[in-house]
Amino acid sequence: EDAFYDCRQLNEVTLGSGLEEIKTGAFEDCQIKIINNKSSLVLTKGSNNYGAIAKNAQTINQIE
């Protein structure tokens, strides 16, 4: 929980194919704009799900 809380320098992340869970608040108050998603997690822009990782996302790239 709160692993990257308020890490405003984090603008882009890549989620690995083995990722199964992101704890509540893990990315709260981050400004992540680009997410490269290799995982099976279904991310939605503006959502607080999965630790709020996509809360401020502008682009979510689903990578097979």
Span 2-42, pLDDT tens digits = 789 988 899 999 999 999 999 999 999 999 999 999 999 99
Q: Give per-residue pLDDT as tens, 35-59.
A: 999 999 999 999 999 999 999 999 9
- How many other C-beta atoms are found inside a 10 Å radius of the C-beta of residue 4? 20
Which residues fall within 8 angstroms of residue 30, CB to CB, at 6 or more apart?
4, 5, 6, 7, 8, 10, 52, 53, 55, 56
Res 2: pLDDT: 78
pTM for the model: 0.91
What is the C-alpha separation between 29 and 39, in angstroms, rounded? 22
Domain boundaries defined on the chain = 1-64
Q: Is the pLDDT of residue 1 over 80?
A: no
**What are the φ/ψ torsions at residue 49 (nearest 5 degrees)?**
-65, 160
